[in-house]
Amino acid sequence: MSVPDYMQCAEDHQTLLVVVQPVGIVPEESFFRIYKRISAVSQVNVRDSQRVLYIRYRHHYPPENNEWGDFQTHRKVVGLITITECSSAKEWPQTFEKFHLQKEMYGSTLYDSRLFVFGLHGEIAEQPRTDVAFYPSYDECETVEKRIEDFIESLFIVLESKRLDRATDKSGDKIPLLCVPFEKKDFVGLDTDSRHYKKRCQGRMRKHVGDLCLQAGMLQDSLVHYHMAVELLRSVNDFLWLGAALEGLCSASVIYHYPGGTGGKVGSRRAQGGSLSAEAGNRHRPGAQEVLIDPGALTSNGINADTSAEIGRAKNCLSPEDIIEKYKEAISYYGKYKNAGVIELEACVKAVRVLAMQKRSMEASEFLQNAVYINLRQLSEEEKIQRYSILSELYERIGFHRKSAFFKRIAAMQCAAPSIPEPGWRACYKLLLETLPGYSLSLDPQDFSKGTHRGWAAVQMRLLHELVYASRRMGNPALCVRHLSFLLQTMLDFLSDQEKKDVTQSLESYTAKCPGTMEVITLPDGLKLPPVPFTKLPIVKSVKLLNLPTSLRPHKMKSLLGQNVSTKSPFIYSPIIAHSRGEERNKKIDFQWVQGDVCEVQLMVYNPMPFELRVENMGLLTTGVEFESLPAALSLPAESGLYPVTLVGVPQTTGQITVNGYHTSVFGVFSDCLLDNLPGVKTNGCTVEVIPALPRLQISTSLPRSAHTLQPSSGDEISTNVSVQLYNGETQQLIIKLENIGTEPLEKLEVTAKTVNTKEKLYGDFLSWNLEDTLCQFPLKPGKIATFVVNIKVKLDFSCQENLLQDLSDDGISVSGLPLSSPFRQVVKPRVETKPLNPQESSKVGDFSHVKTLEAILNFKYSGGPGHAEGYYRNLALGLHVEVEPSVFFTRISTLPATSTRQCHLLLDVFNSTEHELTISARNNEDLILHAGECQRMAIQVDKFNFESFPESPTDGAQSVNAKQLEEERQQARGLEINSKLDICWKIPSLKREGEASVEGVLNQLVLENLQLAPLQWDILVDGKVCDCDAVVTCQVGDPVPLQVKLTNWSKHSVGPFALTMMPYQDYQNGVHNYELQDAITFVGSNTFHIDTVKPTKDSVYFGALLFLYTGDFYLNIKFHEDSSSRELPLSWLCLPSVHIRATEPVAPAQL
């Protein structure tokens, strides 16, 4: 026997072998359709008996194997079923002849045969025949199964007759010698009468009867015959047949212990009689059973027909442990014969299947190792493939997965051996796929992203390369790309630099014909190859969703109620809340994206390849919101380290958007890389809210951009910075163009300003505007421009600590503005002796060209469109950098009294710190021209001010904290009023620039007191005329002149009483005053005036009269009596106006 049957199992010993073959031309599909129905009838209950017949069908069986039918009867073809097509009666004789020829091939062993004819109609088909069945077509053959059952019953009849014939043979000692094919030539010339020869004949026949009993369903009888055969054959050292008897004994015992079978087939065999089931509890008892054979069962010729009635039920059945021992013994006997290699190999396979049922893997591996080294004849490539495949299957059954994969791979390589004219690459590929689990490989890349690498990487890479090669020879480039991508993704850490280059070059050559996709590839056998995303090309270390630029970030309008009230919990701590908050920290982001605006996600990537990596079409994968991804292309240098990559896109709708990953195209392979499959990636969250669309505002100004970037303390970014250079006191307009560059109308606009990063004191409004003119142009449609005007007015401190001028008593000083002053002017240089000795202080104080800086931020808060309806707005900040150059300095300030008690002269020393000629002017004054670096004094006559209307500083101790602040406010209010009355302006004609000059920073307490109007207002009226300034009251000699003294109290307290004495005198204009005027002036009444207490806001008037006796210019000197009332008040409160009276001759009346 030369062709092994690797599917053999121990229970096949009880089966009858039936061959089903086509005759003539029969379609393969139709043949196997009928064959499948025939092979389904594999078990048949024998009528009037509890026995069961088992049938083994084969559609191909080598005739040389049939010659071993006497050695083991299950190898003998006992039935033949032929299937043929016959369309006409003319073809019938030829078809029937072919059927007879087919029977002759197995004629020596056949018990019965059948011919199934399809397609024949007419008289021939209607003739009743036992060996032929006619059917109109393959679809109209309902009785096939019934015919097969009848056919099997006929086989049983022949089998039973042969069993009885062999068992009841009364021919004395003349028992035929059963031989295997290669023994026939060895027994020629032997002495057939010897006792040794007779025992051999008896033993072989006893073993043969045991085979027949086993096939006939008589398990216990077969056990008895096998035991007797073993004893007989062992005594004559007939090792080949002894091995067969031992194997038969093992097979019968296996059938008893494992009624479900050992072949691993689906389903189980039916129980073989109630007698076996009754003793199922004793099947697996350890220890061997003694062979109990009744001597009465043996006759003179060694065979008794009725042995089963005298033998115990299962006394002769081997235990599971003994089954393996007997198998080993039988295989050792087979090994003595070179021509019994197939028998030995099949016995090893049967033993392995039994050991697999007993879960004795190590012993099973020994049997398999022995089977590997059994030397058979020169096998064909197909037989080699079958042999290695079965070895692989058996190793898999005993749990030796890697060993199984090893033989499966050998079988795959055998499918594509060079000696095969047409290599079976598809079979090779299929077998290679089956080896993957044994080498800890799977086709799902997700299995390699969890934990450490499993398996031998070198072997796995070799296997993947073989899969790629087989795919290419199959003509399937998509499979090549998929397996190469898998190799590059999962084995990247184990590839050398050169291997990385080779694999990528091969991948690029394949993807040029068939690009790699993310689609699942389904093989013809239904196996699915999942996609392989390149998550390592490049390697992504972190994913960060970026907030919008500061100028585009949406802000939620604050509502009256707190927005976080509902999210707060009344509990101090809850583990459930803490857990949920941890999840939110990983997923939720505290900023928003805006519909229609470009949004960014930053990835930190790394190129692990030893060469430049080009990544094309890299974009974002999102869910939840319609999102337009804008792909990017990048080139990463070799082993680049962490490299930032920004991916952008535009959300088209509103809601929650989740960034699930990114997609790339590398080496022609398109990959969708999900963040959930990247366990090592750090992320600040994946979900962000997209709010409705908002307008986008772009600003442009009439000023140049600034090189200085403002950095406000609030952290807000400035989108645009502009700068301007102004002289102190100058005003300039800033024209801002507001352009709506978005897609939504701009409906709301609010503008605020904030001065930052300055230590300089500002006077007046630095920035001012009128928003109403701009809002008239709203709503501003997309693409439209509105104009917004801002007035920039810089008024810093005009004071200077350097005393450039000497005291007022110094001569040579030009005082401008006084009506009696000389008209000349003179440039005055600073006195050397007044400068500080420290050179550093000198440079600080005397550097009048020092440029000061003012910085401010204009905030544009705007909204519109759907976002405005949802309560969102945007902020746009404009940074303003103003460099302030000094224009004029007031180096000194003082006052001089005027002729009127309600006026005074303000003296200002003005210094021109510019490099140009400058003109300075004040209200009701002439222009004063100052050359560059020139200093002059100007005098301004001003009315005194009533400061009592301003708030007083608090005196209460509880409010002392704000005392300083209130005092500063009072000082600022006083300075503002004084400055508005002075109206000092400067001009630089050569530059055509002008501005204001403020004295607010140079006013001191003494000057303020001199400028303040006294709370007690004294008015003296002579002859009803107010005496003040240089006014001269004229009266006639001899006429009494009425004199009134009026006191108005504007203070907060009552004042008085007061006593005033009027003392007239004459001024000789040479410094001599004459008070001896008793003869020239007389008072009508007393010259002392008494004024009672005057309450606040009240007044009091004292009346008197003067009488002039002579003509001349007279003056009144009014003095207060030094009493307690006048001593408590400041002198400035008791300042009375001068009185100048001119007495003239009376006019004579006109004579008629």
The predicted structure's pLDDT at residue 829: 39
Closest residue by Cα to residue 20 from 84, 68, 83, 93: 83
Helix or strand run (H / E) with residue 213: helix 195-215
Rg (CA), the chain: 63
Q: Which residues lie across from 723 on neighbouring strands?
A: 881
On the question of pLDDT at 810 being above 50, the answer is no
Q: How confident is the model at residue 586 (pLDDT cuts 50, 70, 90)?
A: very low
Residue, of 619 and 797, whose pLDDT is higher: 619
CA distance 751 to 875: 10
Task: Report the 10 Å Cβ neighbour count for 304.
Answer: 15
CA distance 136 to 156: 29
Terminal CA-CA length for the chain: 189
- Residue 571: Cβ-neighbour burial (10 angstroms; 0-12, 13-18, 19+): exposed
Q: How confident is the model at residue 235 (pLDDT cuts 50, 70, 90)?
A: very high
On the question of pLDDT at 563 being above 60, the answer is no
The angle at the Cα of 445, spanning 440 to 446, to the nearest 5 degrees, equals: 95
CA distance 660 to 672: 10
CA distance 710 to 895: 43
Helices (H) and strands (E) in the chain, counts: 25, 47
On the question of pLDDT at 880 being above 60, the answer is yes
| pLDDT tens-place string over residues 684-717 | 778 899 999 999 998 888 888 776 676 665 556 7
CA distance 531 to 468: 15
Which amino acid belongs to residue 461?
M
CA distance 618 to 603: 11
**What mean pLDDT comes out for the span 643-659?**
92
Which amino acid belongs to residue 559?
S
The predicted structure's pLDDT at residue 294: 40
Contacts of 1072 (CB under 8 A, 6+ apart): none
The predicted structure's pLDDT at residue 585: 35
Per-residue tokens: 260 = 């479900």
Task: Report the 10 Å Cβ neighbour count for 835.
Answer: 15
- Put residue 617 in one of left, alpha, beta given phi > 0 → left and psi -120 to 50 → alpha: left
* Pairing of β 77-85 and β 112-118: parallel
| pLDDT tens-place string over residues 955-992 | 444 455 577 777 777 777 777 777 777 788 888 888 88
CA distance 1099 to 27: 141
On the question of pLDDT at 728 being above 70, the answer is yes
Residue 284 φ/ψ, nearest 5 degrees: -105, 25
Closest residue by Cα to residue 1041 from 952, 945, 1106: 1106
On the question of pLDDT at 282 being above 70, the answer is no
Return the DSSP state at 552.
G
The predicted structure's pLDDT at residue 1131: 65
Which amino acid belongs to residue 884?
V
The predicted structure's pLDDT at residue 1149: 64
Query: Is 78:111 a contact under the CB 8 Å cutoff?
Result: yes
Query: Is 839:516 a contact under the CB 8 Å cutoff?
Result: no
- Residue 1005: Cβ-neighbour burial (10 angstroms; 0-12, 13-18, 19+): exposed
Return the DSSP state at 961.
G
| pLDDT tens-place string over residues 517-559 | 999 999 888 889 999 999 988 999 999 999 998 888 899 887 5
CA distance 255 to 272: 9
Contacts of 523 (CB under 8 A, 6+ apart): 433, 529
On the question of pLDDT at 1134 being above 80, the answer is no
On the question of pLDDT at 305 being above 60, the answer is no
Q: How confident is the model at residue 588 (pLDDT cuts 50, 70, 90)?
A: low
C-alpha to C-alpha distances, 139 to 16, 135, 754, 845, nearest whole angstrom: 28, 9, 96, 120
